[in-house]
Amino acid sequence: MHKRLYRTVERLLEKIDDSSGGEAMLLDVLHLLVNNPAAENLGIVSGRLYREQKQDYCLIESLGGLGAALAGKTVSKEYQVVRDIERRRLWVISPQSPGFDAAVESQFGDTDSAAILVGRDPNYILSLSIRHHGSEEDLMVLLETIRAAVGLKLRMQALASQMRQARSIQHSLLPGCLPRLPGFEMAALSLPADEVGGDVYDMQEVEPGTVGFMLADASGHGLPAALQARDVVVGMRMGQARGEKINATVSRLNRVINQGGLASRFISMFYGELETTGSLVYVNGGHCPPLLASPDGRVRELMTCGPVLGPLPEAVYKRGYVTMEPGDVLLAYTDGVTERLDFEAPGDEDDVHEFGRGRLVDLLLAQRGADAESTVAAVIEAVRAFGHGSPQADDVSVLVIRRLPAADYPPAGGLATVATGMMR
């Protein structure tokens, strides 16, 4: 009987739109409990929702009984029944209840009622008139089931709201538009596996004629990884502002991450500074080696210059140097790209393959001559298609820089199309 009761309440609450605000959701709950045919076996014939104020609770919605005519009525916090509801969080109200006042109760119509306290800051009282229930134990089970289900729904709603805020904060860290570097095209895109992700990229002008760019991947995904990725962006921007050498900045950032005390957390990162001459100095801290493709079909990897950031406080990071010639394309990516799986039938592990570096190299070569934005889009689409529509297991991020062929160089100060963003 109790399991059937819980399933009934659970099915009712599934009808509630999670995007509703806390009070709006409670109003939805009230309507579902009183008016929905599926709730008839609960024996609820009327209901009221009260919102906490400084000295009292104000009735904001009344269904059944005396209906909407009751809206705006208040009941004092000093009333014994209200004090018991606040103390116990659920309470059966009858003429035998301690401190029961018939004059107070009669203004709301029904007196054989039960109430539960839900929400927080402000509190709400959901008062229900219930008929034909069995024992008081059965009634308490009903009340506790409703209270627990509504409380869980509110907590899930609050968490969803926090995640949306975290996503907004993370998105605000991405450059609003990519910096201008004459003779180059730049584009980047990040696809988090969850509401927020551990991948992050950045591009900032370090000084006239030089752009600093970064792609980082925090271990795991979701909110903890997103917070760590945020710290990396902030740390690298501080180093840029101070004019530090890039390996010194990365070393200092590594110590900060290590001192955070999360031994199980680490972050891989590729950071480079590119000049208009094509000269690129970089540090690769345990990140997937970016690919540098030449017009003649040669592909080089910009290998690691030190370990991932976090585990080793005294890790040493060396600088690497390379020159991007006209027509060269640099593709930086996170392991969510190459580790994307192609299984069509979950569980069929014998027939599962990764997207892999080889496919990425072939795709990059096939995109020679395409602009940077088109190359980013082609990689993202290929990775999505490879997974046959299955959910991402990890965040996916791609950053592309293309040095224009000499004949296509824009006038001084000009720039070809750029793209930036985070998508779902």
401 lies in some domain: yes
Q: Tell me: the pLDDT tens digits for 334-369?
A: 999 999 998 664 555 566 789 999 999 999 999 988
CA distances for 333 relative to 58, 313, 336, 364, angstroms:
56, 25, 8, 12
- Residue 137 shares a structural domain with residue 189: no
Q: Judge whether residue 287 has pLDDT over 60.
A: yes
Tokens read off for 194:
């969850």
- Listed residues 147, 165, 183: the one ending a domain: 165
| Domain at 75, CATH number | 3.30.450.40
| Domain at 245, CATH number | 3.60.40.10
- Residue 155 shares a structural domain with residue 189: no
Indicate the pairing of strand 113-119 with strand 123-130: antiparallel
423 lies in some domain: no
- Residue 24 shares a structural domain with residue 137: yes
283 lies in some domain: yes
Q: DSSP states of 179-200 as a string?
A: PP-TTEEEEEEEE-SSSS-SEE
Residue written as token pair 């599934």:
14
Average of per-residue pLDDT across 33-48? 77
- Residue 55 shares a structural domain with residue 154: yes
414 lies in some domain: no
* Number of compact structural domains in the chain: 2
CB 62 within 8 A of CB 48: yes
User: Whole domain around residue 72: which residue ranges?
Assistant: 2-165
415 lies in some domain: no
- Residue 224 shares a structural domain with residue 104: no
Of 10 and 356, the structure prediction assigns the larger pLDDT to 356
Tokens read off for 227:
């917070």
- Residue 140 shares a structural domain with residue 193: no
Q: Tell me: the pLDDT tens digits for 200-225?
A: 899 999 999 999 999 999 886 666 77
- Residue 102 shares a structural domain with residue 201: no
- Residue 321 shares a structural domain with residue 301: yes
Tokens read off for 310:
């976090």
46 lies in some domain: yes
417 lies in some domain: no
- Listed residues 139, 165, 191: the one ending a domain: 165
Cβ atoms within 10 Å, residue 213: 27
Rg (Cα) of the chain, in Å, rounded? Answer: 30
- Residue 323 shares a structural domain with residue 219: yes
Measured between alpha carbons, how far is 234 from 10 in angstroms, rounded to an integer? 44
- Listed residues 117, 132, 165: the one ending a domain: 165
Q: Judge whether residue 131 has pLDDT over 90.
A: no
Q: Tell me: the pLDDT tens digits for 383-410?
A: 999 988 788 888 899 999 999 997 666 5
Measured between alpha carbons, how far is 66 from 76 in angstroms, rounded to an integer? 20
369 lies in some domain: yes
- Residue 181 shares a structural domain with residue 118: no
pLDDT band at 268 (very low <50, low <70, confident <90, very high): very high
Tokens read off for 413:
């100060």
Q: What is the pLDDT of residue 1?
A: 44
Amino acid at 309: L
Of 334 and 142, the structure prediction assigns the larger pLDDT to 334
- Residue 129 shares a structural domain with residue 201: no
- Residue 127 shares a structural domain with residue 242: no
